[in-house]
Amino acid sequence: MFAPLGVCVWMLTQTPNPLYGPGIMTSPTEVTTCPDFGTPWNNVVAWANNDGMEDDTDGILDFADQEENDDTVILAMAIKGIAADPDDRTLLRDAAVMILDEIGTTNNIGDGGMQWPQNYGRNVAPCVVAWYDLIIRAVTSPPVVTLTERQRMDSFVDWLPTHEPGGKKSLAENHMDRCNNIGGVCGFTVLCCYVARHVDASVITHIKVLRGFLGDAGSNGHAFSDGKFGECGGQVCKEYWPDNPESSRRPVNPFGAKRNGFDLNGCLCDDQRRGGTICCHTSTADDACFCFEGFPYHKTIYYWEGEQGLSCQVVLAHRLEYNSFSWSTDAWQRSLDWITDPAFGNNPVRRWRTTTLGPTTRSAA
């Protein structure tokens, strides 16, 4: 499972300017200069201690189980381990051992299971960030991990993005082909792997996929054809496409997009369609539909997961000095602005992004 907001908020929003931070998503320097107090930090500590945060944490990492949360515990352990006494790296070693135990068997994953891309797309990225940004960069004597252990992790990270278990699409192919939550989490994991190993050509390729996801189907982006969008109850997600020609279809709807008068500016259409069709065509609507304040759409958690992978990719790209926050008329900002608080609740993702990360980093982009 993707690292929850209690960890991600602390890791991503406390850095003065992510452009100057080395690493995939953070670095030991950034961690040690962040506040070690307040609610975000307390959440990191609670996850690191596995202190009643979730039932699905047993200390045994399993990339193939999308319901388990040990990847979150590992990332929190690495953060806390860096911030702790420099002479005490026990947490870092414990996190490294959990990762090494899992990659010792992962190369024999068979067909990957029915939900291969979701499981590995969600569970691997926090471990890659913990390993390459923090564990192997900690200044300790002796080092947290041995040279042989580093080589094992490097081999796994090199192997994973293009692996096709049982003939299924690889994580890299899922990023290119699926313009929804699955493509998003796969994309973040793939980019983490390629940035960690400095596979520059592949980083550029998948940054183009991200740019295409945000709306640029030109020479700088990757075009998602209409056929790559999913179906829901017999209704393809064209219900959430704007009225303009189909050649302009994008995973994130373009600025000013409308359909039959309904505002669809910034909508992640292939995730929103999982909630069903636009439901307020009449004065009577079902209980699951929010038909007040001009928001005639079903609530769906898929949209929020779509934002997880997308948001992490945008931040990663920004750390690589791309102007990702401003691409396609601030497409990332618009994708969350489209979800209004009255309809979807006072979600902390929205508060984090719009009040802390978005305005600060967009002004620097």
Long-range contacts of 179-183 (CB under 8 A, 24+ apart): 179/213, 179/224, 179/228, 179/229, 179/251, 179/270, 180/230, 180/251, 180/268, 180/270, 180/271, 180/302, 180/306, 181/271, 181/302, 181/305, 181/306, 181/308, 181/309, 182/117, 182/118, 182/121, 183/213, 183/309
**pLDDT confidence of 362, banded at 50, 70, 90?**
very low
| Structure-block tokens of residue 127 | 């471990």
- For 125-172, what is each residue's pLDDT tens digit? 999 999 999 999 988 888 999 999 999 999 999 999 999 888 889 999
Q: What percent of the chain has pLDDT over 90?
A: 32
Residue pair 267/240 in contact (Cβ under 8 Å)? The answer is: yes
- For 197-228, what is each residue's pLDDT tens digit? 999 999 999 999 999 899 887 767 777 765 56
Residue 280 has what pLDDT? Answer: 56
- For 177-189, what is each residue's pLDDT tens digit? 888 899 999 999 9
DSSP state of 145: S
Residue 12 has what pLDDT? Answer: 44
- For 84-109, what is each residue's pLDDT tens digit? 876 678 899 999 999 998 886 555 55
Lowest mean pLDDT of 6-10, 38-42, 99-103, 139-143, name the range: 6-10
- Would you give the end-to-end CA distance of the chain in angstroms? 29
Segment 262-269 mean pLDDT: 83
Is the model's pLDDT at 15 over the cut of 70? no
Residue 63 has what pLDDT? Answer: 83
Residue pair 51/90 in contact (Cβ under 8 Å)? The answer is: no
Predicted TM-score (pTM) of this structure: 0.84
Residue pair 289/279 in contact (Cβ under 8 Å)? The answer is: yes
- For 282-339, what is each residue's pLDDT tens digit? 444 444 555 444 556 666 778 888 888 999 999 999 999 899 999 999 999 888 887 7
Cα-Cα-Cα-Cα dihedral sign, residues 231, 232, 234, 240: negative
How many residues in total does the chain contain? 365
> What is the distance between the alpha carbons of residues 130 and 77, in angstroms, rounded to a whole number?
9
> What is the distance between the alpha carbons of residues 347 and 287, in angstroms, rounded to a whole number?
20
> What is the distance between the alpha carbons of residues 252 and 308, in angstroms, rounded to a whole number?
14
Segment 66-72 mean pLDDT: 82
